[in-house]
Structure 1
Amino acid sequence: MTDVPDITLNNGVTIPQLGFGTFQIDPDATRDAVLAAFEAGYRHIDTAEMYGNERAVGEAVAASGLDRSEIFVTSKLNNGAHARDDALAAFDQTMDELGFEQLDLFLVHWPLPGVGDFVETWHAMEEIYASGRCRAIGVSNFQPPHLRRVMETSETVPAVNQIEAHPYLTQDTVRAYDREHGIATEAWSPIAQGKVLSDPAITEIAARLGRTPAQVVLRWHLQRGDIVFPKSTTPARVTENFDVFGFELTPADMAAISALNRDERTGPDPDTFDHTG
């Protein structure tokens, strides 16, 4: 089986660089999808309270036959639970849903700058981390000003910042800020919901290498240091997305893909998104 490279987080915890995402996978389909991912070789699963499928992820982990220590699981704090007591209660609920004694990584899902003070939220995350029930804590969709506020008012630098990133939204500024402060960058929507797969620059590289466009884009993410977790419920595609370690992109290929940036989001803008539902 292919060995997925590990990224060492700023607290020494290691995370597989390639994982399996569960966003928009129906809870009823999640258990089988995650088991198919395990069968393909994935050992890193990304979920969230907001997705409504944490219980099914936990069931898949329990049914996999794999030792819990072999699997890295991330979940995220829901947007309606930013106040301290709400955040602590939400984490308890996540642990109940997953059926775990310890979570590997817990993230603040969105900063919600117009709703409340995400610094209070981060201090609650620090309490969760100090309890030992979570091996690492981080954030999602945080921009440099959000990160700066957290680090100015806290002892704990986020281990991870999970952001939308793909060839049409390369996020060079956020990634550079993360790197400068020892924060690992994770990429969600890594193929821009499929939008980048027909781009001529990507299809040309794929044809030349005998790879699929999706494999080329995922390889681009891996080579630039992103932690990435593509999502699919199609077993053949789940396997295809895992098969990204038998080839390399040249510096010219990497540059050609990065040059596609147009700052185009498929999801909300973190500076204005304040949805708590």
Structure 2
Amino acid sequence: MSAPAVSAPAVEEGGARRTLPSLARLRQPLLALALPVAMGIAWHWLTVGKPYSLIPPPAEVWAAMVDLAIGGPEGDAFSGTLLTHLVASLARVFGGFSLAALAAVPLGLLIGRVPLARQILDPTLQILRPVPVTAWLPLAMILFGLGPRSAYFLVFLGAFYPILVNTIFGVRSVEPRLFEAAAMLGCRGPAQFARVVLPASLPSIVTGLRLGLGFAWVVIVVGEMTGVPTGLGAIIMEARQLSRTDIVICGMIVIGVAGFVCDRAVMLIGQRLLAWSPSHG
């Protein structure tokens, strides 16, 4: 007995169903690339063929990026140094960010939950918070001297306040009925920090960590103006002094990409930690 024939429309419909998920998966990256591609086209159109332009065209920046990454036949002081500078900046960013998280999260939990701590600490912290990191630069160099310690301190400052403010907000947003329910179940006093406060405020803490890490990358250039020989901020400042705008743009691009990758990593970790949350799982 012969197998039933499959009509052409049915075959086409099955193929269309397989194609649609593939197109759906491609839609987001294509949309994400649309603006950078448009900016690159505009950049090329505005700079190519203009020898006296202060901004080099994309092709020159790409050539400088390749030379910075792997070196070239006509190498200079920047050739093949990208990995060294990137690793140095990563160490300072994550070092300062880690210190900020270790300080800001417990302090935020304390300020958000204990009224006396809030009354004592919050006014002073709110006065210090608007002071820009650049204003701390001279004082950091006096306190910690030239070198990486000042850079760590400035990155710490940049990351500290976003984490602190979001942690306080998360704790203050915990519904009182959760504490009442915990007390009815025998969870009282300091035990509520681990059983109630921390889980309920975790979404805000994760948001603060993402913001803090982003600000750490924002201030890394300032942090590496403290006399450090390596780092993306260091080569940006050195290239600026040498009028190497192509290297300056390369440094900016690398900082942007590194910050994006780090943010995605923190976001994925946050999604794992918040898998229980309906709005984050």
TM-score bin (small chain): under 0.3
Higher strand share: 1
TM-score between the two structures when normalised by the length of structure 2: 0.22
TM-score between the two structures when normalised by the length of structure 1: 0.22
Higher helix share: 2
